[in-house]
Amino acid sequence: MKQALIATFFILGIGLVGECKEKQRAGVARIDITPQGPIWMSGYAARNKPSEGVLSPLYAKALALEDGNGGRAVLVTTDLIGLPRDVTDVVAAQAMQKYKLERGALAFNSSHTHTGPVVRGNLSVLVSQQPEFRPAVAAYTEKLKADLLTVIGAALGDLSPATLAFDYGEAGFAVNRRQMTPKGVVIGVNPNGPVDHRVPVLRATMPNGKVKAVLFAYSCHNTTLTAEFYKLSGDYAAFAQAELERQMPGTVGLFMMLCGGDQNPNPRSKLELAQQHGQALGAEAVRVARTPMQPVSGRLRTAYQLIALPFAPHTRQQYELEAKDPNIYKQRRAEYMLKSYDERREMRQLSYPVQAIRFDKGFTLFTLGGEVVVDYALWAQREWPAERLMVAGYSNDVAGYIPTARILKEGGYEPVESMIYYGHPGPFTEEVESRIHDAMRQVKQRTTK
């Protein structure tokens, strides 16, 4: 019987050949998080009414991983604009209590769809929903916390023997959106700007050769569908997951957003383009998943820490002036800042999550909070050329754009204007980049001991 059990770990059907000595396990689960009825949507200031139906269901999915030596992690993906820490911290605390899951072993990622619901606390200045719809957002957010805990538990309950593998594909529809003009940086198309077209793919295969789950990722804003679309959907990321699951029946596809803060799909603004981009991305993930890929093995270690990202100096007087600005969003930001001054809790820095989830061989995942620009992923590839990396933004907290020193100097929407909508006092200081680099080195070091 023992010999027969060992023999089942020789995988021939998909290119994984060899004995699984470490007894890796994987579990996967999903839960429908589509709002019931109309709800205010997040992502575009131009919207002036709630959602009107559903184009594609929204899901939270979870992939649980174990290394056979006591190490484990759960990766949670969501078809949402972003999750604030007042959601992820609560769910993480509950997961620690209920499942003994350490904070560093739990990663939350959002696809950043702009055709999803408002999640309370996220983009509070941007959203101007009518008062009668605010209770729906509050109720949705509370239910979401319960759903996230449920899907984590379901993935852990689904753990069974599996072999892991990782590799890269490529998709070309992302373009740098920071267009240089005589009047400054605008959101447009910059064909010469930095991009990362790699498609990281993590595959979990059962002993019988059937693929249980495929986690894939991309660095591109999930904004093919623009402000005139009022049906709830996961945009191209949802179509990509659906395409993978169509081509690989019985496999759960999970999408993670990488460092797409300054990347846009090109072209965009039509439903058929969202479908086209999604189908291309999903098909590429399938192509990679059907190749031998590189094995993932060894101990699974995790690390998580919060660092301080300082905002540029500011004073009460500047918000008193801003409160008189004709721009309604500046007025809202000023009101919020003046209240913080009155309550002696001026915002001087942002508490920022940095995480690493790493197997000894074959797979290292960094997760960074916020709308991270692509430079951070490209830097990590240079910093650790021997590592098979996946660098995800939009993770554990989405509290604003995360620029580099270069982008701060250039100005434009991401480092400056977006801070109004996120309710921040203004831009970060240029040391934001070095602080994040240092934190990435630290969590990486903690996973290699």
Q: How many domains does one find in the chain?
A: 2
What is the DSSP track for 209-231?
A: S-EEEEEEEE-S-S-SS-TT--S
Are 335 and 412 found together in one domain? no
Q: DSSP 3-state assignment of 415?
A: helix
Is residue 16 in some structural domain?
Answer: no
Its sign, for the CA torsion 67, 70, 71, 77, is positive
Bridge partners of residue 309, in order along the sequence:
350
Is residue 47 in some structural domain?
Answer: yes
Is residue 115 in some structural domain?
Answer: yes
Which of 292, 327, 342 terminates a domain? The answer is 342
What is the DSSP track for 102-156?
A: -GGGEEEEE---SSSB--TTSSTTT----GGGHHHHHHHHHHHHHHHHHHHHHHH
Are 146 and 264 found together in one domain? yes
The whole-angstrom separation of Cα 447 and Cα 338 is 42
Are 264 and 300 found together in one domain? yes
Are 246 and 319 found together in one domain? no
pLDDT at position 132: 76
Is residue 10 in some structural domain?
Answer: no
pLDDT at position 2: 35
Show the tokens assigned to 329.
């969003």
The whole-angstrom separation of Cα 389 and Cα 166 is 10
Report which residue type is found at 183: K
Are 175 and 200 found together in one domain? yes
Which of 326, 342, 358 terminates a domain? The answer is 342
The whole-angstrom separation of Cα 137 and Cα 84 is 14
Q: How far is CA 358 from the centre of its chain?
A: 17
| Cβ–Cβ < 8 Å for 164, 204 | yes
Are 288 and 331 found together in one domain? no
What is the domain range of residue 259?
A: 24-306+349-446
Which residues, other chains included, contact 306 with Cβ-Cβ below 8 Å and sequence gap of 6+?
A: 351, 352, 353, 354
Unique residue bearing structure tokens 């449920």: 150
Show the tokens assigned to 284.
């590429």
pLDDT at position 127: 63
Is residue 415 in some structural domain?
Answer: yes
Are 201 and 131 found together in one domain? yes
Are 296 and 323 found together in one domain? no
Are 204 and 251 found together in one domain? yes
pLDDT at position 135: 87
| Cβ–Cβ < 8 Å for 188, 177 | yes
pLDDT at position 26: 98
Q: Please write the tens of the pLDDT for every residue from 181-211.
A: 999 999 999 999 999 999 999 999 999 999 9
Q: Tell me the helices (H) and strands (E) count for the chain, helix number first.
A: 11, 18
Are 148 and 258 found together in one domain? yes
Is residue 242 in some structural domain?
Answer: yes
Spans of the chain, pLDDT less than 70 = 1-22, 121-124, 126-130
Are 316 and 371 found together in one domain? no
pTM, two decimals, is: 0.93
Is residue 7 in some structural domain?
Answer: no
Is residue 12 in some structural domain?
Answer: no
pLDDT at position 45: 86
Are 133 and 282 found together in one domain? yes
